[in-house]
Structure 1
Amino acid sequence: MEQMKDNLPEVDMEKLRIVLDVKERYLSGALPLDEARAILRERVKTLRPYEIALAEQELKTFEDDECRKEDIQQMMVLFQDVLDRSRPDLPEDHPIMCYIRENDAMRGLLKQVEELAQYPVIKNQWLELYDELHKHRLHLSRKQNQLYSILERKGFDRPTTTMWLLDDFIRDEVRDARRLLEEDREEEFIAMQPVIVADILDLIEKEETVLYPTSLAMIRPDEFEEMKAGDREIGFAWIKVGAGNRTEESKKPLPATEAAGFASDLAALLGKYGFTGGSTPGQLLEVATGQMTLEQINLVYKHMPVDFSYVDENEIVRFYTDTDHRVFPRSKNVIGRDVKNCHPRTSVHLVEEIIDKFRRGEQDEVDFWINKPGLFIYIYYVAVRDEEGRFRGILEMMQDCTRIRSLEGSRTLLSWDKSNKAASKHSDAPYSAPATTPAPEAPSTTDKQAEGESEYVSCSCMKGASHAPKAPEAPQAEASTSTPAVEASAPERAKTATEITGATRLKDLLEQHSWLKAKLPEINPAFKMLSTPLARIMIPKATVAMMSERSGMPLTELIAQLQRVISEHKG
């Protein structure tokens, strides 16, 4: 694993020891504030945010819940004379600037919370405000699955081990407050509002003071460019982010070790176990029961009707099937990551228990399932062992079994009716089974994170996809309520494709043009989510305006593209 200091400008470690010593003595009351500031001015002079992060990473022992307990305002008072807190000058679509823009939007919502708390409770007003606060989960999910992941690989794992707990604590605080409101426990609900405001502002301050500046110092521009696709898939809270194009600089080929994708990873894995020759296009590989080219192997995995993830015997995530219909979004940043770091610390013990029992041979399999109205997701883990019985890792299988569970009677004759899921994907027939059949969200590891309520554990580190936990109330599901568009009236829904407006419902478009869903990802990659099980939740509620917000495309451009695709198909 890389060391954090190797990914930063040269740092004077002795200076950092002085910083930690002054900080600890000040917090314990052994050093007055004026004296502590004087020492810092004289001996430290200037302090970069990443130097604080490095000091915590390298010189301080881990403490449970330390991020939540630390008073960031107190730290700012101590370091105000030496710490650089300038706001970065970045393009609006830069991953870090997206986080900062979301924080600015959250500050506006928190002002509304403070203002509304002064008046008698009007339930609908608060519910609308909490609908907006709920979108903060998208912000947290991107951090945990995208940003924490790459920082961890570079040796900075404090966000994973400390800040993630604070993220989840705040997520649960907002959820619990809403429940109080729904249960008409108004006094308790109002009493929670100052606490929620203070805790969220504390998190924002910690992000902007240390996390984001440190990320900018450690992550290369080309790596930020690579992050953008995963960020768009997870989604954004309150802000619009265009699809954008990679800069010419970012299009330059990466070093082979970084540019290697799914195919090269699989080839290396096959080579490790004696199946050589995979690097030559078209060359057959001797697999266990047959011969296949690497391209064929990739295609088989790409079309698997179920999702697979593999964690090796060293507890490193090595592989997942990147299918269009996957149950939960996943990010390639999980590859090469310790599976335990793909989960919040509150659920790591479950991951460790599964691995331990599999490794010891006490258990060979365990399963979980998510059962909600109109949705049944099955998750299964099996210990992978070689011919000698040695533990070689864990295979996770996940499947949306909603339709399977609903089947009755028998079918023994070929039928191409709408219940045949395959028919709707590439057919122009007047139906769209996937639009009404499949549906949820979050990396297997994400269910725990996004909802904070599900009990199953995912070893695939997707989160959200990747902090195991983008699970089921996934950010994608949130997209269905993210835009305050007015529901279309019956006359509006009856309009033809050339009269598409922001209020036009996606469901109505797909009923008129069943082939359209397969074309939507060509308009914007964000629409690939409509081929996942989340579609059942998203499609009935989504309007074109919601699609615009979700994808980051201007509404007029989206409408024009929809009309173009429909017109070309008719032609």
Structure 2
Amino acid sequence: MSDQRIQILRDILLELHQGASPESVQERFNQHFTGVSALEISLMEHELMTSDAGITFEDIMSLCNVHTNLFKGAITAVEVADADQEGHPVYVFKQENLALRAALLRVRRILTSYAETTDTDLQTDLLKGLRHQLNLLGQFERHYDRKENLFFPIMERYGHDAPPQVMWGVDDQIRELFAQVMTTSQSLPDGDVTVVLTTFEAFAKEFEEMIFKEEAILLMILLETFTQDDWLTIAEESETYGYAIIKPTAKWVPHREVFGEMASADQPQAVVQPTQAEGQATVIDTPQGQFTITFTPKPEAKSTAIDRNQQQPFGKGYLSVEEANLILNHLPLELTFVNKDDIFQYFNDSVPADDMVFKRTKSQIGRHVDLCHPPKILERVRAIFDLLRSGRKDQVDMWFKSDKTGKFIYVVYKAVRDDNGAFQGVLEYVQDIQPFFELGSDMKRDLD
């Protein structure tokens, strides 16, 4: 991968951002590239966003489809055998896209048929089918959530921080477009079906473009970059966010190579013979002769492992690490701690993943707090941390009623300071307070 190649891509995209038409740069792009790696696209976007050209991820996001069209037909595919196995996260991701495309087509057909008929009974049946298919299509949220919370953290650890920022921003735009589809569709049968069709096609265009970006760019970056262990982590944590329309039909069990056990019979074998000085020297016979390796063992290091059941001074009393962990996990709160360096460091395990208000996974540990949130709320997150870090506030409270679950969620962001008042991080705790509104009396002291 040459710097010159990246520079050419960077210059072409910079021209687009400065107002050049796609047609004016397409010919030059075709002249210089017979195939472009998804990694090169990632590096190019990173170069643009970190250069002094004044290009932000919002700028790149605004011309995302122009960039994508530029690369169509030129992106080099990456072949990884495991990715075609049932249960592999890439296989599942692609199967979801197939199912979502099918739901998209069914919605389009239903809306078209609805617009073409005047039969009220048929319209009633079509409307029922439309509601069902839109609910299925709306499961793309789970698909996007897994991408944003499982794929993106690992990408960032490998230095690919630009594509996640850009793609997450576009994901949010697609979510907003789908919300408009749901709103306009609720107006039927009294509303205008042409308005529903217009909003749906606006959503469908961006949604189908995203499928291309996922499969031709995003997955290519991941397949070139991620290790088998990365994919195993994603497979293990995917259930936390759920799946769109389909579920894995089998658990992915990768083939593991065991090195050193199978040597070619045609190659000379080295024979290892221990010398009389046990543990001090080794003689190795080879077809060319012998050589001796000597070494001096290091003193055995003392174990520094913490006894999780050993009582330790803790606050106003004593607790073991195991007891402290159990207590934190039994609190009726979702706890998250971001340290003073803005690194997501801890979350408790108080409720099953399906019941979590703000879903967390182990993959997010060690991630910068900026990267844990969608771009559309990033400024608000930064403002909260600035208020708490500066000491202008010690606590920020928020609450909302969830339309999906009916839960009334109360969220607190609390500045954590040491005994000297020095800022050590932010503790977030989240609680469903809906049961408090449903208390049947002013007092309860019995055991029933």
TM-score under structure 1 normalisation?
Answer: 0.61
Between 1:71-80 and 1:326-335, the stretch displaced more is 71-80
Match of 1:232 in 2: 239
1:312-349 residue CA offsets vs partner (Å, 9 max, x unmatched) = 11111111111235633321122111112211121111
Native 8 Å contact 2:414 2:427 kept in 1: yes
- Going from structure 1 to structure 2, the CA distance change for 1:18 and 1:327 (only over 3 Å counts) comes to closer
Q: Secondary structure at the match of 2:309?
A: coil
Tell me the CA shift for residue 118 of structure 1: 2.7
- Cα distance in structure 2, aligned partners of 1:236 and 1:158: 25
Partner of residue 163, structure 1:
167
CA offset digits 1:515-560 (Å, max 9, x no partner): xxxxxxxxxxxxxxxxxxxxxxxxxxxxxxxxxxxxxxxxxxxxxx
**Per-residue deviation, 1:65:** 3.2
Q: Output aligned runs, 1:471-490, within 5 Å.
A: none
Matched AA of 2:31: I
Q: Which runs of 5+ in 2 are unaligned?
A: 116-122, 260-302
- Say if 1:77 and 1:412 are closer, same or farther in 2 by CA, change over 3 A: closer
Give yes or no for the alignment of 1:207 onto 2:237.
no
Shift of 1:242: 4.2
Kindly indicate whether the alpha-carbon contact (under 8 Å) linking 1:310 and 1:395 is maintained by their aligned counterparts in 2: yes
Select 1:53's aligned residue among 42, 58, 61.
Answer: 42
Alignment check: 8 A CA contact 1:170 1:199 kept: yes
Contact residue 310 and residue 394 of structure 1 kept, 8 A = yes
Matched, 1:305 2:332: yes
One-letter identity of the residue aligned with 1:335: I
The yes-or-no answer on 1:241 pairing with 2:245 is no
Q: Distance in 1 between matches of 2:78 and 2:159?
A: 25
- Tell me the secondary structure at the aligned position of residue 367 of structure 1: strand
Query: Which residue number corresponds to residue 288 of structure 1?
Result: 315
* Equivalent residue number for residue 114 of structure 2: 120
Cα distance between partner residues in 1 of 2:340 and 2:209: 39
Change (3 A) 1:56 1:140: same
Cα distance in 2, alignment partners of residues 66 and 181 from structure 1:
32
Shift of residue 83, structure 1, vs aligned partner: 2.7
Structure 2 counterparts to residues 118-157 of structure 1, below 5 A: 118-121=112-115, 122=123, 123-157=127-161
Could you report, residue by residue, the CA deviation over 1:469-493 in whole angstroms, capped at 9, with x for unpaired residues?
xxxxxxxxxxxxxxxxxxxxxxxxx
After superposition, where does 1:366-515 map in structure 2 within 5 Å? Answer: 366-371=396-401, 375-407=407-439, 408-413=441-446, 415=447, 417=448
Out of 167-176 and 111-120, give the one that drifted further.
Answer: 111-120
SS at match of 1:120: helix
Secondary structure of 1:189's counterpart equals: helix
Whichever structure has more strand as a proportion of its residues is 2
- Quick check: 1:179 aligned with 2:183? yes
- Of the three residues 378, 381, 384, the one matched with 1:348 is 378
Map 1:32-43 onto structure 2 (within 5 A).
32=24, 35-37=27-29, 39-41=31-33
Question: Any idea what SS the aligned residue of 1:377 has?
Answer: strand
User: Hey, what's the Cα distance between the residues in 1 that align with 2:258 and 2:372?
Assistant: 29
1:251 Cα deviation from its structure 2 partner:
12
Q: 1:128 to 1:250 in 2, by over 3 A?
A: farther
Aligned to 2:102: 108
- Report what 2:388 is aligned to: 358
Alignment-mate amino acid for residue 65 of structure 1: E
Q: Secondary structure at the match of 2:112?
A: coil
Q: For residues 75 and 382 of structure 1, do their structure 2 counterparts lie closer, same or farther at Cα, with a shift above 3 Å needed? A: closer
2-side partners of 1:175 and 1:191: how far apart?
Answer: 13
Compared with structure 1, are the counterparts of its residues 18 and 120 closer, same or farther at alpha carbon in structure 2 (3 Å cutoff)? same
Corresponding residue for 2:356? 327
Which of structures 1 and 2 has the bigger CA Rg?
2
SS in 2 for 1:28: coil
Partner of 1:219: 226
* 8 Å contact from structure 1 (residues 67, 166) kept in 2: no
Q: CA deviation at 1:29?
A: 4.4
CA distance in 1, matches of 2:87, 2:166: 27
Whole-Å separation in 1 of the counterparts to 2:417 and 2:372: 23
1:387-439 C-alpha deviation (Å, 9 max, x unpaired): 111111111112222323322232223x2x4xxxxxxxxxxxxxxxxxxxxxx
Is the CA contact (8 Å cut-off) linking 1:22 and 1:31 kept in structure 2?
A: no
Note closer, same or farther for the CA distance 1:246–1:304 as it changes in structure 2 (3 Å cut): farther
* Contact map agreement 2:49 2:57 (CA 8 A) in 1: no
The corresponding residue for 2:263 is none
Q: Which moved more, 1:148-157 or 1:280-289?
A: 280-289
Give, in whole Å, the separation in 1 of the partners of 2:304 and 2:313: 9
Q: TM-score, normalised by structure 2?
A: 0.76
Distance 2:432 2:257 in 1: 37
Tell me, yes or no, if the aligned pair for 2:87 and 2:252 is still in contact at 8 Å. no
Query: Once the 2 structures are TM-superposed, how far is the Cα of residue 359 of structure 1 from its aligned partner?
Result: 1.2
Aligned residues: 378
3-state SS in 1 of match to 2:44: helix
- Does the aligned pair in 2 maintain the 1:278–1:293 contact within 8 Å? no
Matched to 2:421, the amino acid is G
Distance 1:371 1:56, change over 3 A: closer
Q: Which residue does the alignment assign to 1:262?
A: none
Describe the shift of the 1:47–1:159 C-alpha distance in structure 2 as closer, same or farther (beyond 3 A): closer
In structure 2, what residue type is equivalent to 1:124? K
Deviation, structure 1 residue 58: 2.9
Structure 1 residue 150, shift from structure 2 partner: 1.5
| Structure 1 SS opposite 2:114 | coil
Identity of aligned residues (%): 25
State the alpha-carbon separation in 2 of the partners of residues 203 and 31 from structure 1. 22
Contact persistence 1:160–1:344 (CA under 8 A): no
State the partner residue of 1:499: none
Matches of 2:67 and 2:330 in 1, distance apart? Answer: 54
Q: Which moved more, 1:196-205 or 1:292-301?
A: 292-301
Q: Residue 240 of structure 1 aligns to which amino acid in structure 2?
A: K
Structure 2 residue aligned with 1:259:
none
What RMSD in Å do the two structures reach over aligned CA positions? 2.9
